Structures are given as structure tokens and as C-alpha cells.
Structure 1
Amino acid sequence: MDWLFLVLAGCMEMFAVTMMNKWHADRKWLSFLLLLLGFGGSFLFLDLAMETLPMGTAYAVWTGIGAAGAAITGMLFYREPKDWKRIVFIAMILVSAIGLKLIS
């Protein structure tokens, strides 16, 4: 259950960062509210995951999911660059997160 909470925390982090980008673009209160809910949910699920997972592992996986997910979201929906080097480094983040799961 701890790893499920951690993945949910990372997904909420990715959602919150996407809403932050949307808030900067449109300044609508709904975007701001969703941003707050995203970060709140992210910290809640991270807290639940850290009840059993080591802090370093949980934090690394949480930030990895958030960073890789936000980069992929930016490429898919916000016309950010999609060059192969960027994709390789995003893949390295994800492989590192999976590696931490395998050794924890």
C-alpha cells in the first residue's frame, strides 16, 4: 500500500505543477484551487507512504514521478521540446525510481 500511496503522491505532484502552469496562463481561481488541492493531496499521500518507506527513497521517487510526469505533460500539451536527449534523461529518472523500488 505504501508504494501505491507514493505513486499517487507523485501523480498529484505532477497534476499540481500542471495546474501551476495553467494558473500562470489564465489566472482563473479554479486553476489556483486545483493547484492547492494537487499539492495538498501530494503531501498527504507522501506522508502516508513515508510511514513505512525510508525518507530518501520516498522523496526520490516522489520527485522523480513529479519531474518526469511534468516534463512529459509539457511535451504533450504545452509544446515543449521533444528531442531525443530530453526523452533519454526523462527515461533515466523513471528507471532510477524503478530501481529504488526494486532495492527497497
Structure 2
Amino acid sequence: MSWLYLTLAGVFEMMGVIMINSLHKNKNWQSFVFMLAGFGASFAFLALAMETLPMGTAYAIWTGIGTVGGAIAGMLLFGESRDWKRIVFITMVLGAAIGLKVVS
């Protein structure tokens, strides 16, 4: 169940980051509320996951999901660069997170 909590924490982290971008563009209260909800849920699920997972593993995977998800969301939703070099490094971060899961 901890891995599910950790995955949800990463997804809500992505939501919070997307809402930061939305808040900068729209400056509305809905974006602010969703940003707070995303980060709040992210921290809550991270705390649940860390009840059984080692802190270093949980934190690394949580930030990896947020990093990769945020970069992909930026490409898909906000027209950020899709340069092959970015894709290579995003893949490396994803590979490191998978590696941590395998050895944990």
C-alpha cells in the first residue's frame, strides 16, 4: 500500500506544480486553491508512504515523479521544449526511480 501512497503523492505533487504555472498565468483563486490542495495531498500521502518505506527511497521517488511529471506536463500542456536531450535526461530520472524501487 505504501507504493500506492507514494505514487499518489507524486501525482498530487505534479498537480501542485501545474497549478503554480496556472496561477502565474491566470492569477485566480481557483488555481491557488488547487495548488494548496495538490501540495497538501502530496505531503499527506508522502507521510503515509514513509511509515513503511525508507525516507531516502520515498523522497527520491516522490521528487522523481514530480520532476518527470512536471517536465512532461510542461511539454504537453504548456508548449515547453521537446528537445531530444531533455527526453534523455527525463528518462534517466525515471530510470533512477525505477532502480530505487527494484532495490528497495
TM superposition score category, shorter chain reference = over 0.9
SS of residue matched to 1:52: coil
1:40 is matched with 40
Q: Residues 2-31 of structure 1, C-alpha deviation per residue, up to 9 Å, x if partnerless? A: 000000000000010000100010011000
Structure 2 residue 56 is the aligned partner of structure 1 residue 56: yes
SS of residue matched to 1:81: coil
2:11 is matched with 11
> Partners of 1:23 and 1:95 in 2: how far apart?
31
- Cα offset for 1:62? 0.2
> Partners of 2:98 and 2:4 in 1: how far apart?
13
Structure 2 residue 63 is the aligned partner of structure 1 residue 69: no
- Cα offset for 1:41? 0.2
> Partners of 1:99 and 1:11 in 2: how far apart?
19
> Partners of 2:9 and 2:92 in 1: how far apart?
20
> Partners of 2:94 and 2:41 in 1: how far apart?
21
Q: Residues 69-90 of structure 1, C-alpha deviation per residue, up to 9 Å, x if partnerless? A: 0000000111100010000100
SS of residue matched to 2:47: helix
Identity of aligned residues (%): 62
1:98 is matched with 98
Structure 1 gap ranges (5+): none
- Cα offset for 1:98? 0.6
SS of residue matched to 2:81: coil
Q: TM-score, normalised by structure 2?
A: 0.99
Q: Residues 35-72 of structure 1, C-alpha deviation per residue, up to 9 Å, x if partnerless? A: 00000000000000000000000000000000110000
SS of residue matched to 1:53: coil
